[in-house]
């Protein structure tokens, strides 16, 4: 019995057929689809496999792109024992026990690949536990994650692993796999003798968002519907019924969340209302918290529109209030209206930049005392200490401007706010120039 064999099921238990996605799992590199940037001749992962390089690795990619299949193929190709665990279902105690047994087996020439699915689910202390075994080469660790390893995997473990980024399968790659599943008699649906044209398969592939497991599941449901209806073909109507709802890759706390909000913000900044509406719609369709979107849209108004169109802030705050009052889906349109307005509005980050420059000076210079002439003097002692001495009340000055420096002496004449010539800010630039001229004329 293999060291890592699990207990078999009882002799009288009838096994249910595995799902289509499991049955069609590729067994060799020749059957494996996609990831040609890693597996084509001369590409890094292909070279590592061919050279039997024992380095541990992390597979990073969205669901359903073949991370587990690739690990299994690698184990088979290199004739290593394959041990698979899920960070969701398994504890570190049992994994440590297996790693210790694998180390003992390694002394007798046996090699073990330890595959940890969703390795990012282990906390930092748990991830630390892998380090001694990885360093000694007792196991070859392959971790799979849908999250950015830079944020979710400890640096000590990352430095000992090679990170390979797996990409979503293209529609053409998925169509080829679905066609193979339809015609494969041994593992697929070939015994049902069903037909489906390329447009139907493209419909299924397109709605899976690059997730091959989701595409297989949809095809299997469609095949069941067609068989139940006595049809010999999976048509568009059957496919539509099987799909029900499009599979959207999204994790409210994961990288795709930040990728989408980044795309929305940058589309607004680049004055592209069509792209902005698309990314907003994507986030709504994925179940994003509408109030999170409302807050980010208010931020866009102050960061990228600023004083070029100061009414943008009021509009976005009103949209947020409408969203809170109406909820989804009725309130979605209020945020869509705000996004279109922001995309079309004149742009200025002058206040954003000015405030950043002021903050930089605050961090880089000593905390200057407030000049005496700008201090209040509510007591006699304060007046005797010259608090408020030399202060000039602007309303009593011609043109409402006094020749008075309001910054600390070490920062005198520092200029933070540099208005643009966009929208309303063009008028503010003229006003600022006039104020500076008036102030200088009184010195």
Q: What is the pLDDT of residues 132-190, one digit of tens each?
A: 777 777 778 898 988 888 888 888 888 888 899 998 888 889 999 999 999 999 888 88
- The secondary structure of residue 302, as a DSSP letter, is I
* Cα 425–Cα 427–Cα 429 angle in degrees, nearest 5: 70
Highest average pLDDT, of 3-17, 84-98, 315-329, comes from 315-329
- Secondary structure class of 104 (helix, strand, coil): helix
Q: With a cut of 90, say whether residue 59 has pLDDT above it.
A: yes
Residue 14 pLDDT class (50, 70, 90 cuts):
very low
Q: What is the pLDDT of residue 308?
A: 93
- The secondary structure of residue 82, as a DSSP letter, is E
Q: What is the pLDDT of residue 101?
A: 74
Residue 307 pLDDT class (50, 70, 90 cuts):
very high
Beta carbons of 174 and 216 less than 8 angstroms apart: no
Q: What is the pLDDT of residue 4?
A: 45
Give 186-244 pLDDT, tens digit per residue: 888 888 888 888 888 988 888 887 788 888 988 988 888 888 888 888 888 888 888 87
Residue 270 pLDDT class (50, 70, 90 cuts):
very high
Residue 253 pLDDT class (50, 70, 90 cuts):
low
Residue 275 pLDDT class (50, 70, 90 cuts):
very high
Q: With a cut of 90, say whether residue 303 has pLDDT above it.
A: yes
Q: In angstroms, rounded to a whole number, what is the distance separating the alpha carbons of residues 183 and 393?
A: 88
- Secondary structure class of 427 (helix, strand, coil): helix
Q: Which is it for the CA torsion 162, 168, 170, 176, positive or negative?
A: positive
Percent of the chain whose pLDDT exceeds 70: 92
Q: What is the pLDDT of residue 113?
A: 83
Beta carbons of 304 and 268 less than 8 angstroms apart: yes
Beta carbons of 212 and 251 less than 8 angstroms apart: no
Q: With a cut of 70, say whether residue 263 has pLDDT above it.
A: yes
Residue 265 pLDDT class (50, 70, 90 cuts):
very high
Q: What is the pLDDT of residue 150?
A: 85
* Cα 162–Cα 167–Cα 169 angle in degrees, nearest 5: 140
Q: What is the pLDDT of residue 213?
A: 87
Radius of gyration, CA atoms only, the chain:
32
Beta carbons of 161 and 55 less than 8 angstroms apart: yes
Residues 77-85: what's their mean pLDDT? 80
- Secondary structure class of 141 (helix, strand, coil): strand
- The secondary structure of residue 304, as a DSSP letter, is I
Question: For residue 442, what are its two tokens?
Answer: 């009184």
Q: What is the pLDDT of residue 8?
A: 43
- The secondary structure of residue 365, as a DSSP letter, is S
Q: What is the pLDDT of residue 10?
A: 45
Residues 394-401: what's their mean pLDDT? 86
Give 16-25 pLDDT, tens digit per residue: 578 898 899 9
Residues 56-62: what's their mean pLDDT? 89
Residues 289-318: what's their mean pLDDT? 93
Sheet with 81-86, edge to edge strand ranges: 81-86, 112-117, 140-145, 56-60, 161-165
Of the two residues 19 and 14, the one the predictor is more confident about is 19
- Pick the closest to residue 302 from 349, 364, 255, 252 (CA basis): 349
Least confident of 203-207, 253-257, 288-292: 253-257
56-60 and 140-145 strand pairing: parallel
- Pick the closest to residue 342 from 311, 383, 320, 369 (CA basis): 311
Q: What is the pLDDT of residue 19?
A: 87
Q: What is the pLDDT of residue 351?
A: 93
Could you give the domains of the chain?
32-165 (3.40.50.300), 171-243 (1.10.8.60), 255-344 (1.20.272.10), 368-441 (1.10.3710)
Q: What is the pLDDT of residue 242?
A: 83
Where are the strands (E) in 15-139, listed by range?
56-60, 81-86, 112-117
* Cα 395–Cα 397–Cα 398 angle in degrees, nearest 5: 115
Give 323-356 pLDDT, tens digit per residue: 988 888 888 999 999 999 999 999 999 999 999 9
């Amino acid at each position: 019995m293999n060291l890592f064999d699990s207990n078999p099921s009882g002799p009288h238990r009838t096994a249910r057929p595995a799902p289509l996605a499991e049955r069609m799992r590729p067994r060799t590199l020749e059957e494996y689809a996609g990831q040609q940037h890693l597996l084509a001749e001369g590409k890094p992962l292909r070279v590592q496999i061919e050279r039997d390089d024992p380095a541990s690795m992390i597979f990073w990619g969205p669901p359903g792109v073949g991370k587990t299949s690739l690990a299994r193929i690698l184990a088979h190709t290199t004739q290593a024992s394959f041990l698979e665990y899920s960070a969701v279902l398994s504890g570190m105690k049992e994994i440590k026990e297996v790693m210790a047994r694998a180390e003992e087996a390694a002394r007798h020439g046996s090699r073990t690949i330890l595959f940890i699915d969703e390795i990012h689910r282990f906390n930092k202390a748990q991830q630390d536990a892998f380090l001694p075994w990885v360093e000694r080469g007792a196991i070859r660790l392959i971790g799979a994650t849908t999250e950015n390893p830079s944020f979710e995997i400890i640096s000590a473990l990352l430095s000992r692993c090679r990170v390979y980024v797996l990409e979503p399968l293209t529609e053409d790659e998925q169509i080829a796999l679905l066609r193979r599943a339809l015609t494969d008699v041994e593992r697929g649906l070939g015994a049902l003798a069903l037909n489906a044209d390329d447009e139907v398969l493209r419909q299924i592939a397109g709605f899976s968002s690059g997730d091959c497991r989701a595409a297989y599941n949809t095809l299997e449901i469609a095949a069941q519907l067609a068989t139940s209806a006595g049809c010999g073909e999976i048509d568009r109507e059957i496919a539509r019924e099987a799909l029900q709802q499009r599979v959207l890759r999204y994790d409210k706390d994961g990288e795709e969340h930040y990728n989408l909000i980044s795309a929305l913000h940058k589309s607004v900044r680049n004055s592209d209302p069509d792209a902005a509406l698309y990314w907003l719609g994507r986030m709504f369709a994925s179940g994003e918290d509408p109030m999170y979107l409302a807050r980010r849209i208010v931020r866009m108004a102050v960061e990228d529109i600023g004083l070029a169109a100061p009414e943008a802030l009021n509009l976005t705050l009103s949209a947020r209030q409408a969203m809170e009052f109406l909820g989804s889906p009725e309130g979605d349109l209020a945020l869509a209206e705000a996004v279109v307005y922001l995309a079309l509005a004149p742009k200025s980050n002058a206040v954003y930049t000015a405030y950043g420059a002021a903050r930089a000076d605050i961090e880089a210079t000593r905390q200057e005392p407030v000049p005496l002439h700008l201090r209040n003097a509510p007591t006699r002692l304060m007046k005797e200490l010259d608090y408020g001495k030399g202060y000039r009340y602007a309303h009593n000055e011609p043109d409402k401007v006094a020749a008075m420096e309001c910054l600390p002496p070490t920062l005198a004449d520092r200029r933070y706010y540099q208005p643009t010539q966009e929208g309303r800010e063009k008028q503010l630039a003229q006003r600022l120039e006039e104020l500076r001229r008036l102030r200088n004329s009184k010195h």
